[in-house]
Amino acid sequence: MITVDLSVHTPATIRWALSPVLETLGWLRLARDGASDPTYGAPARATKQLLSRPDVALVCELLPSGGGPTPDFLAPAPPAATSTRAAESQLAEIDNTDHAQAAVEVWAASGDRPLSKNITAALRDGTLPARAARGLATFWEEGMAEVFGLAETALRAEISRCEQLADSGGIGAVLNAIQEQLSWGDEPANACEHRTDTESGMPELLVIPTALYGPRLTMRLQGTRPYVAYPIDATPAPTDPITGLRRLIGPTRAAILRHLSSARTTTELSEELRLAAATVSYHVKVMQRAGLLERSRQRHNVFYELSPTGRQLLAGIS
């Protein structure tokens, strides 16, 4: 068990964020393992073909199989920025990692597992951080378009939920609600592998929901930017119906329903969700025929909004 001792000043130093690099690592691992996510499906064939590129293959070999740890340098904390800027910053931090530090982390994470020839060569010639950054950049730019927009919608909704919980019930209410392995208590647990005290130099604690990087809780409590990352689908959220709704009708239609709290055009939905207009139009028409949406026209614009059935579905499913 890992215990974080939170000082009285902690609520002001906690920040919620999403990590593009963690999501990229999660999708890359699914592609490598030929696996499928229960919510987002499996990476496409074109995405899997990226694994044949040497630098992408190197990152695959650095990622553990089973329950092993990921080297810390591969998952830097995200800055407060847009997703694109956050990804650029994280990739730059990986690229600038001290080679000796990266080597120590790789050896520690490997345990008794022998290192591949690809990793050994990168360690020998001092190119490991740079090649890992290039491999992740390639996969982020060419392999994440199919899934990141939907994942980001769910992650933004989760962050909004956490911020609302914090406003109404404090950090304790959030930690007790977001993940079964996270909890808030007056007394520290007896069994503790690592303890860090926020009053002794921790500038802020990042709490990172993840959609694709899981299923376990991930923590990095060393350094100047410690974080806790948790999978948002690990525990149902009674106050947020999007999880159950997403499982019932699929992530794209669930995201569209979530954005129709007020009437919108398909163009507005396309821009907000970063989806192709044709994709939005198709799903909207299907949901209208199913009685979940109502259609109205104002001059040259066609608006869609939730029907009474759609509102009941969105409000009642958890």
According to DSSP, residue 72 is labeled G
One digit per residue, pLDDT tens: the chain, 318 residues?
Answer: 444 555 444 545 778 899 999 999 999 999 999 999 888 889 999 999 999 999 999 999 999 887 678 899 999 999 988 999 999 999 999 999 999 999 999 998 887 788 999 999 999 999 999 999 999 999 999 999 889 998 999 999 888 888 887 776 666 666 666 665 565 544 333 323 333 444 445 567 788 999 998 777 787 776 667 888 889 863 444 444 455 555 556 777 888 888 887 899 999 999 888 888 888 888 898 888 888 899 998 888 899 999 888 887 777 554
Q: Are 165 and 158 in contact (CB under 8 A)?
A: no
- The torsion angles phi and psi of 104, rounded to 5 degrees, stand at -60, -45
Q: Domains of the chain: which residue ranges?
A: 2-16+149-231, 20-146, 242-316
pLDDT at position 64 is 84
Distances (CA, A) of 140 to 84, 95, 112, 157: 10, 15, 30, 22
Architecture label for domain 242-316: Orthogonal Bundle (1.10)
Return all residues near 185 (Cβ < 8 A) that are at least 6 apart. Answer: none
Look at residues 74, 82, 93 and name the one whose alpha carbon lies nearest to residue 26.
74
The pTM score is 0.67
According to DSSP, residue 70 is labeled P
* DSSP H or E stretch at residue 228: strand 227-231
Which tokens hold the place of 21?
């690099």
Cα dihedral sign, 216-38-310-275: positive
